[in-house]
Amino acid sequence: MATGLELRDLPIFEGLAASQLAQLLAAAEDVLVEPGAVAWREGEHADHWWVLLEGEIELTRRVGHERVVVSHMRTPGQWAGGFRAWDQAGVYLATGQVVASGRLLRVAATDLRELTQEWFPLGGRLIEGIMVTARSIESMVRQRGSLITLGTLSAGLAHELNNPASAAARAAEVLSGELPRLIDSIRGLANNLTPEQFVELDELRRNLGPRLPRHDAVALADEEEALGEWLGDHSVARPWAVAAALASSGADVSWCERALGIVGRDALASGLEWVATTVSVTSLLDEMQESTRRVSGIVAAVRSYTQMDRAGRQQVDVRDGLESTLVVLGPRFREGDGVAVVRDYSDDLPRVDAHPGELNQVWTNLIDNAVDAMSGSGTLGITARPETGGDGLVVEISDTGVGMPADVVERAFEAFFTTKQVGSGTGLGLDIARRIVVDRHGGDISVDSAPGRTVFRVRLPLVRPAGE
């Protein structure tokens, strides 16, 4: 049992009167510890103040998926914890594991607060101020991390929009050069063909279709070369450009021979130019349509994701929110070797009474965490189904990553707990996701994890409890 004489020799208690040491001992416990024991854990509420009397304590912190030794307590009088004496949200900053057997003086944070207020009230207020400042700095760092993430998402969306927009711009530029050639070829046909010949040539054009597999570039190149030589021998202008368009549409030398039999040598150049430019213009228009459709789809997904111009609470199809979140996070899936997305949505999935914008934040956090866990390569599973035997629905988001250690699973939804560095992740902790699901929607969120498969499971009631 610790004595006042023993405490008096410790530098931390220098200056305390015998009566004060007696008060401290009356509020304290003398704890014997053995190697391997964990005295306190990182992130848990710092409900006790620990002072080393004998032995050795190793202090570790979790960084990513590893536990790193940050310090040791070897000198009697070193202390840890007790932060709830001045901050109700105070937690242990590291895990204390016993390395060498010894003794610890343990004082409840509430008792420590009373003693400091009685002995040196100014010091207590200074400590409170320091704790408030530290929490404010931590909040600013988290906000900074959120801004970094927002910038990353914005850059990804800009890249997603730039690809189809650039494709549409390129197609429009090429189209502006093809249209004059199309008009010139029509003029040449009008001067050399009868209406019956033109109808027959158009029918021959309509019967064109790809004959070669799209991936067989060698065979296509051979076809273009044969067509180019034939066109050159028959005095067709731009033989290689015309040959490329004809080959891509399925034409070959025999097809050109049939066209020659229809239009004759005088109209052959105009006829084949007309067919080639028609094929090119049609292809360019299809490309522009697909590109603009893609841009519209991204814009619609972002609008759905942000819930612009919509009421806060509404009947929600969770599939819409999940899909819009996948679009917003799309660039993340293509990092590394890429992430395959496997969807499993029930056909009879009911709508839920919810705040869709808030749910989208939950999906963002869970999906982003899953992609992080797979380091950009793996399978992301998204399932949405009616609750079995209940009045709700269940959304599951799974990944094939490394999994979460048991101690991380236990604390995954605690406030301020994270294994990510600043600038990594969404800046939205799982604690906030839990509040959205549980407090705002009356649902439930849980996690099961093992190496190779982690599943976050969100249950949402179809009708939220009154007052939510």
Instruction: Please report the DSSP string for 406-426 in residue order.
Output: HHHHHHTTSTT---SPTTSS-
Same domain, 214 and 266: yes
Query: What three-state secondary structure class fits 279?
Result: helix
**pLDDT 10s digits, 144-172:** 555 555 555 666 566 667 767 777 888 88
Residue 309's pLDDT is 45
Residue 192's pLDDT is 86
Residue 72 lies in a domain: yes
Percent of all residues in the chain with a pLDDT value above 90, rounded to a whole number: 23
pLDDT band at 303 (very low <50, low <70, confident <90, very high): low
Residue 305's pLDDT is 59
Packing angle, helices 356-373 and 253-306, rounded to 10 = 120
- Look at the block and give the residue holding tokens 């988290």: 142
Q: Is 284 exposed, middle or buried (0-12, 13-18, 19+ CB in 10 A)?
A: buried
Find the Cα–Cα–Cα–Cα dihedral 99, 105, 111, 112, rounded to 10°.
-70
Is pLDDT at 383 greater than 90 in this prediction?
Answer: yes
Residue 139 lies in a domain: no
Residue 427's pLDDT is 37
CA nearest to 356, candidates 313, 405, 416: 313
- Tell me which of 201 and 127 has the higher pLDDT: 201
- Look at the block and give the residue holding tokens 């960084």: 63
Q: Which of 72, 97, 119 is the last residue of a domain?
A: 119
Is pLDDT at 104 greater than 90 in this prediction?
Answer: yes
Residues with Cβ within 8 Å of 221's Cβ and at least 6 positions away in sequence, in order, are none
Degrees (nearest 5) of the Cα angle 356, 361, 364? Answer: 120
Of 211-225, 233-247, 339-353, the range with the lowest mean pLDDT is 211-225
The two tokens of residue 175 are 């189209």
Residue 426's pLDDT is 36
Q: What is the chain's length?
A: 468
Residue 422's pLDDT is 38
Of 178-187, 249-258, 263-272, 427-436, the range with the lowest mean pLDDT is 427-436
Is pLDDT at 135 greater than 70 in this prediction?
Answer: no
Query: What three-state secondary structure class fits 51?
Result: strand
Mean pLDDT of 194-211: 86
Same domain, 280 and 163: yes
Residue 53's pLDDT is 92
Same domain, 344 and 420: yes
Mean pLDDT of 131-142: 57
Residue 154's pLDDT is 61
The two tokens of residue 259 are 């066209």
**The pTM is what?**
0.45
- Tell me which of 5 and 107 has the higher pLDDT: 107
Same domain, 204 and 295: yes
Same domain, 287 and 330: no
DSSP 268: H
Find the Cα–Cα–Cα–Cα dihedral 420, 424, 426, 429, rounded to 10°.
10
Of 78-82, 98-102, 176-180, which one has max mean pLDDT?
98-102
**pLDDT 10s digits, 313-369:** 788 899 988 988 887 777 666 655 678 899 999 998 999 988 887 888 888 889 888
Same domain, 111 and 175: no
Residue 57's pLDDT is 93
The separation between the first and the last C-alpha atoms of the chain, rounded to the nearest angstrom, is 53
Residue 426 lies in a domain: yes
Sign of the CA dihedral with 252 first, then 257, 261, and 265 last: positive
Query: What three-state secondary structure class fits 210?
Result: coil
CA nearest to 405, candidates 66, 37, 95, 97: 66
Domain count across the chain: 3
Percent of all residues in the chain with a pLDDT value above 70, rounded to a whole number: 79
d(CA 54, CA 284): 80
Task: Classify the phi-psi angles of 429: left when phi > 0, otherwise alpha if psi is within -120 to 50, otherwise beta.
Answer: beta
CA nearest to 358, candidates 261, 241, 440: 440
Residue 149 lies in a domain: no
d(CA 381, CA 395): 10
Same domain, 272 and 321: no
The two tokens of residue 37 are 């024991």
Mean pLDDT of 203-210: 84
The two tokens of residue 96 are 């204390």
pLDDT band at 66 (very low <50, low <70, confident <90, very high): low
CATH number at residue 98: 2.60.120.10
Degrees (nearest 5) of the Cα angle 435, 382, 144? Answer: 45
Same domain, 35 and 110: yes
**Phi, psi of 339, deg, nearest 5:** -115, 125
Same domain, 241 and 333: no
Residue 137 lies in a domain: no
**pLDDT 10s digits, 407-442:** 778 877 875 566 554 334 333 468 778 888 888 888
**Structural domain for 394, as ranges:** 313-461
- Look at the block and give the residue holding tokens 């010091």: 123
